[in-house]
Chains A and B, each alone.
Chain A
Amino acid sequence: MRRIVAAALGLGVACGALGGDQSASEAIAQYRQMLEDGNPAELMELRGEELWTTPRGPRNVTLEQCDLGLGPGVVEGAYARLPRYFADTDRVQDVESRLLTCMTTLQGFAYEDATRAWYKAGSDLEALVTFIATRSKGQPIDTPVKHAKEVEALAVGADFFYRRSGPLDFACATCHSQDDRRIRLQELPNFENPASARTSMTVWPAYRVSQSAVWTMERRLIDCIRQMRYPEPELGSDAIIALQVYLQHQARGGVMQGPGIKR
């Protein structure tokens, strides 16, 4: 029995030597293939669906009337079309921001309660975003840039991508504006290159093995910004949303693959 277990659980260890780019990438690609049916993000997706359909909060209602941009309660395809402008809040919003709008206005949660420890593994927001994103699997990224505020967000997001500051003079572009680059052995997407942008944006949210947690795109960006030695941006803030508008725009047409697996 131990042999069967050992063979099956060889999955838990990256196969292949971690020397040089090629074999490291191949090893990780192999690992991903083996885990195709076993992405722990599925567990978060299940929990997210439960949170969406369970009456919660002071008003004891479900999230099933939440409008994610395609009409109240429409989850299918919503993630691939976010961020976008919402008339009721007069803001461009991403999926987290929109969920918080619904959790506060529909369910009556206080903002502090809805955002408490949002970045901890297994948080409600993590589960809900995973659920919503999975319902865009197979759909092309198609974010609107029509409303004046969407147009402005795109310009602000692009400018922010190139904005250098901090003690290390970093901008997003410092690491993400050339092909075939890596930090240490971690490959970097190039967001000036639409093909590379598509490869990246279509597999987030993703289960990060190192964290044993699903990270949403916003979580991923906030950590990038931490690594750049900037202060921490607020969850759902306009700079982060504008940046996502830019990234989604660069990745437009890319087909959502469902939650990925990352290191």
Chain B
Amino acid sequence: MGSPMKVRARNDGGTTEVKILMSHPMETGRRKNEKGDLIPALFIQQVSVQHQGKVVLSAQWGPAISANPFLSFKFRGGAKGETVKVTWVDNKGDSRTDEALIA
């Protein structure tokens, strides 16, 4: 189970803005440690955001994305008090899900 994300969602006139800060090392697999060995690739491959059972964002990521990624986007709909649920899965099969209420 991955480290907790910070998820914030805010509705403004029918559009909900979601801001997500994920905790993940996002190793490309090409970096070397002090001993000179390659650090194995470890990065988020799938991100999915749901609102009331409907997927509002789906993303396929690769190693180019920086560590501790910050993702911000908007979707039409949503109302104060409803839940937004974020899930990521990485290339080793680890995953994390966190929720937030729309403010």
The answer to A–B direct touch (Cβ < 8 A) is yes
The docked-state distance in angstroms from the alpha carbon of A35 to that of B19 is 10
- Contact indicator B65/A12 (Cβ below 8 Å): yes
Task: Pick from A38-46, A79-87, A161-169, A240-248 the stretch touching chain B.
Answer: A38-46
Choose among B8, B23, B57 the residue that contacts A1 (Cβ–Cβ < 8 A): B57
- Beyond A38-B72, A46-B4, A46-B6, whether A5 also contacts B59 by CB under 8 A is yes
CB distance from A227 to the nearest CB of B (A): 18
Choose among B4, B21, B67, B73 the residue that contacts A38 (Cβ–Cβ < 8 A): B21
The A contact surface, by secondary structure, is: helix
Write the chain B residue with the least CB distance to A212. B67
Residues of chain A within 8 A of B19, CB atoms compared: 37-38
- Beyond A11-B70, A12-B66, A212-B67, whether A43 also contacts B59 by CB under 8 A is no
Q: What is the 8 Å Cβ interface bit string for chain B, positions 1-31, against chain A (1 contact, 0 not)?
A: 0011010100000000001110101000000
State whether the Cβ of B39 lies closer than 8 Å to any Cβ in chain A. no
Residues of chain A within 8 A of B4, CB atoms compared: 43, 46
Residues of chain A within 8 A of B23, CB atoms compared: 40, 43
The docked-state distance in angstroms from the alpha carbon of A47 to that of B68 is 14
- Contact indicator B70/A35 (Cβ below 8 Å): yes
Residues of chain B within 8 A of A39, CB atoms compared: 21
Residues of chain B within 8 A of A207, CB atoms compared: 68
- Contact indicator A38/B70 (Cβ below 8 Å): yes
The docked-state distance in angstroms from the alpha carbon of A183 to that of B7 is 37
- Contact indicator B6/A209 (Cβ below 8 Å): no
State whether the Cβ of B101 lies closer than 8 Å to any Cβ in chain A. no
Residues of chain B within 8 A of A12, CB atoms compared: 65-66, 69
Residues of chain A within 8 A of B66, CB atoms compared: 12, 209, 212
* Residues from 44 to 76 in B contacting A, C-beta threshold 8 Å: 57-61, 65-73
Write the chain A residue with the least CB distance to B17. A37
The docked-state distance in angstroms from the alpha carbon of A4 to that of B71 is 10
Choose among A2, A4, A35 the residue that contacts B73 (Cβ–Cβ < 8 A): A4
Residues of chain B within 8 A of A148, CB atoms compared: none
13 other contacts beyond A42-B21, A43-B21, A43-B23, with CB at 8 A cut-off?
A1-B57, A1-B58, A2-B59, A8-B71, A9-B65, A11-B70, A38-B19, A42-B6, A43-B4, A43-B6, A46-B4, A212-B25, A212-B67
Q: Which 3 A/B pairs are nearest by Cβ-Cβ distance?
A: A38-B70, A40-B68, A212-B67
Q: What are 24 inter-chain pairs, A to B, with CB distance below 8 A?
A: A1-B57, A1-B58, A4-B73, A5-B59, A5-B73, A8-B71, A11-B72, A35-B70, A37-B19, A37-B21, A37-B70, A38-B19, A38-B21, A38-B70, A38-B72, A40-B21, A40-B67, A40-B68, A40-B70, A42-B6, A42-B21, A46-B4, A46-B6, A212-B67
